[in-house]
Structure 1
Amino acid sequence: MIPEVGHFALMMALVMAIIQAVVPLAGVATRRSLWMAYGAPMAAGQFVFLALAYLCLSASYLLDDFSVANVANNSNSLLPWYYKASAVWGNHEGSVLLWSLMLAGWGFAASAFSTSLPRDMVARVQSVMAMVSAGFLLFILLTSNPFERLLPNVPADGADLNPLLQDFGLVVHPPMLYMGYVGFSVVFAFAIAALMGGRLDAAWTRWARPWANVAWAFLTVGIALGSWWAYYELGWGGWWFWDPVENASLLPWLTGTALLHSLAVTEKRGSFKSWTVLLAISTFSLSLMGTFLVRSGVLTSVHAFANDPSRGFFILVLLGVTVTLSLLLFALRAPRVSHRVGFGWLSRDSLLLVNNLLLVIMTVTVLLGTLYPLILDSLNLGKISVGPPYFNALFVPLTVLLCAFMGLGPSARWKRMGARELTTKLWLAGAGALVIGVLAPLLYAGQWNLWVSLGLVAALWIVLPLVRDVIDKCRHAGSLGRGLARLSPAYWGMVLGHLGLAVTLVGVTVVSNYNVERNVRMAPDVTVEVAGYQFTMRELTSRRGPNFLADTSLIEVRRGGDGRTFMMHPEKRLYLATGMPMTQVALRPGLFRDLYVAMGEDLGGGSYAMRIQYKPFVRWLWLGALLMAAGAVLAVIDKRYRRVATRRGAATRRVTP
Structure 2
Amino acid sequence: MIPEIGYFALVLAMALSLLLCIFPLWGAHTGNLRLMRAAPSLAVGQCVFVLFSFAILIYITLADDFTVAYVAHHSSSTLPWYYKVTSTWGGHEGAILLWLVMQSSWTALVALMSKSIPWVLRARVLGVLGFLGVGFMLYTLWMSSPFERLLPYYPVEGRDLNPLLQDPGMIIHPPLLYMGYVGLSVSFSFAIAALLTGKLDNTWAKWSRPWTMVAWGFLTLGITIGSWWAYSELGWGGWWFWDPVENASLMPWLVATALLHSLAVTEKRGVFKSWTVLLAITAFSLCLLGTFIVRSGIIVSVHAFATDPDRGLYILLFLAVVVGGSLALYAARVSQVRSEGRYQFFSREVALWVNNIFLVVATLVVFLGTLLPMIHKELGLGSISIGVPFFNQMFSILIVPFALLLGIAPMLRWKQNKLPPLAKKWLVILMATITITAAWLFGSFETVAPLTFVASALAVWIMLSTAVDFAQKVSTQQRLSEGLKRLGLSYWAMVLGHVGIAFVIAGVTITSAYSVERSVRMQPGDTASLNEYEYRFEGVKEIVGPNYTGHAGVVTVLKNNEKVTELHAEKRLYNIGMQFMTEAAVDDGFFRDLYLALGEQLGGGAWSLRIYHKPYVRWMWLGGLLIAFAGFIVLADKRYRKSPSKGNQQEATS
Same fold (TM over 0.5): yes
- Gapped regions of structure 1 (runs ≥ 5): none
* Aligned pairs (5 A) from 1:357-506: 357-506=357-506
Which has the larger displacement, 31-40 or 361-370?
Answer: 31-40
Contact 2:565 2:587 in 1 (8 A): no
Partner of 1:653: 651
SS at match of 1:187: helix
- Matches for 1:244-393 after TM superposition, within 5 Å: 244-393=244-393
Whichever residue aligns with residue 597 of structure 1, its letter is L
Normalising to structure 1: TM-score of the pair?
0.98
- Residue in structure 1 matched with residue 58 of structure 2 by the alignment: 58
For these two proteins, the number of residue pairs brought into alignment is 654
Letter in 2 for 1:205: A
Check the 8 A contact 2:33/2:652 in 1, yes or no: no
2:164 and 2:565 mapped to 1: Cα distance? Answer: 28
Letter of the 2:105 partner, please give it.
Answer: G
Separation (CA, whole Å) in 2 of partners of 1:609 and 1:118: 66
Q: Deviations over 1:110-138 (max 9, x none)?
A: 01011121001110001000000100000
Q: How far apart are the structure 1 equivalents of 2:101 and 2:302? A: 24
CA contact (8 A) 2:218 2:628 kept: yes
Aligned to 2:538: 538
1:421 maps to a residue whose letter is: P
SS for the counterpart of 2:651 is coil
**Counterpart residue identity of residue 602, structure 1:** Q
CA distance in 2, matches of 1:188, 1:652: 26
1:239-296, CA deviations, whole angstroms, 9 ceiling, x for partnerless residues?
2331000000000000000000000000010000000000000000000111000000
Residues 16 and 42 in structure 1, CA contact (< 8 A), matched pair in contact too: yes
CA deviation vs aligned residue, 1:293-341 (integer Å, no higher than 9, x gap): 0000001100001100000000000111000000000000111011242
How big is the shift at 1:206?
A: 0.5
Matches within 5 A, 1:106-121: 106-121=106-121
Match of 2:627 in 1: 628
Residue 204 of structure 2 corresponds to residue 211 of structure 1: no
List per-residue Cα deviations over 1:332-365 (Å, max 9, x = no partner). 0111011242211111000000000000000001
Name the amino acid aligned to 2:631: A
Give 3-state SS (helix, strand or coil) of 1:564's partner: strand
Give yes or no for contact 1:119–1:652 (8 Å, CA) kept in 2.
Answer: no
Matched AA of 1:451: L
SS state of the match for residue 602, structure 2? strand
Q: Distance in 2 between matches of 1:28 and 1:489?
A: 34
Letter in 2 for 1:296: S
Q: Which moved more, 1:50-59 or 1:627-636?
A: 627-636
Shift in Å, 1:432: 0.8
- List, as ranges, runs of 4+ consecutive aligned residues in structure 1 with deviation greater than 3 Å: 646-652
Matches within 5 A, 1:180-191: 180-191=180-191
Structure 1 residue 608, shift from structure 2 partner: 1.7
Q: Which moved more, 1:183-192 or 1:605-614?
A: 605-614
How do 1:555-570 residues align onto structure 2 when only pairs under 5 Å count? 555-560=555-560, 563-570=562-569
Give the residue type in structure 1 aligned to 2:629. A
Task: Report the Cα distance in structure 1 between the residues aligned to 2:650 and 2:27, rounded to whole angstroms.
Answer: 13
Gaps of 5+ in 2: none
1:400 deviation in Å?
Answer: 1.7
Moved more, 369-378 or 440-449: 440-449
Distance 2:572 2:141 in 1: 38
Q: Does 1:600 align with 2:599?
A: yes
Q: Secondary structure at the match of 1:238?
A: coil
**Cα deviation 1:178-207 (Å, max 9, x = unaligned):** 000000011110010000000100000110
TM-score, normalised by the number of residues in structure 2: 0.98
Q: Which amino acid aligns with 1:566?
A: T
How many angstroms apart in 1 are the aligned matches of 2:300 and 2:585?
A: 28
Task: Quote how far apart the aligned CAs of 1:153 are.
Answer: 0.2
Partner secondary structure for residue 311 of structure 1: helix
How big is each residue's C-alpha offset from its partner over 1:200-241, in whole Å with a ceiling of 9 and x where there is no partner? Answer: 000001101000010000000000000000001001111233
Counterpart Cα distance in 1 of 2:417 and 2:646: 32
Q: Distance in 2 between matches of 1:36 and 1:547?
A: 53
Following the alignment from structure 1 to structure 2, what is the Cα–Cα distance between the partners of residues 639 and 153?
58
Query: Aligned-pair RMSD on alpha carbons?
Result: 1.2
SS in 1 for 2:476: helix
**Percentage identity across aligned positions?**
47
1:600-634 per-position Cα deviation (integer Å, ceiling 9, x unaligned):
12223222211100011111100001111112212
Kindly indicate whether the alpha-carbon contact (under 8 Å) linking 2:17 and 2:130 is maintained by their aligned counterparts in 1: yes
Deviation at 1:647, TM superposition (A): 4.5
In 2, Cα distance between equivalents of 1:90 and 1:587: 25
Contact 2:191 2:204 (C-alpha < 8 Å) held by counterparts: yes
Q: Is the 8 A contact 1:411 1:425 kept in 2?
A: no
Give the aligned partner of residue 572 of structure 1: 571
Residue 587, structure 1, aligned to residue 586, structure 2: yes
SS state at 1:286 partner: helix
Bigger mean CA offset, 57-66 vs 517-526: 517-526
2:551 aligns to what SS in structure 1?
Answer: strand
> In 2, Cα distance between the equivalents of 1:515 and 1:329?
50
Residue 141 of structure 2 corresponds to which residue in structure 1?
Answer: 141
2:95 corresponding residue in structure 1? 95
Displacement after TM superposition at 1:435 (Å): 2.0
Specify the alignment match of 1:638 in structure 2. 637
2:607 partner amino acid: Y
**In 2 relative to 1, CA 652–395 (structure 1 residues): closer, same or farther, beyond 3 Å?**
farther
Question: Match of 1:570, SS?
Answer: strand
Report the 3-state secondary structure (helix = DSSP H, G, I; strand = E; otherwise coil) of the residue aligned with 2:535: strand
CA distance in structure 1 between the aligned counterparts of 2:343 and 2:431, rounded to whole angstroms: 28
Counterpart CA distance in 1 for 2:431 and 2:646 is 48
**Structure 2 match to 1:617:** 616
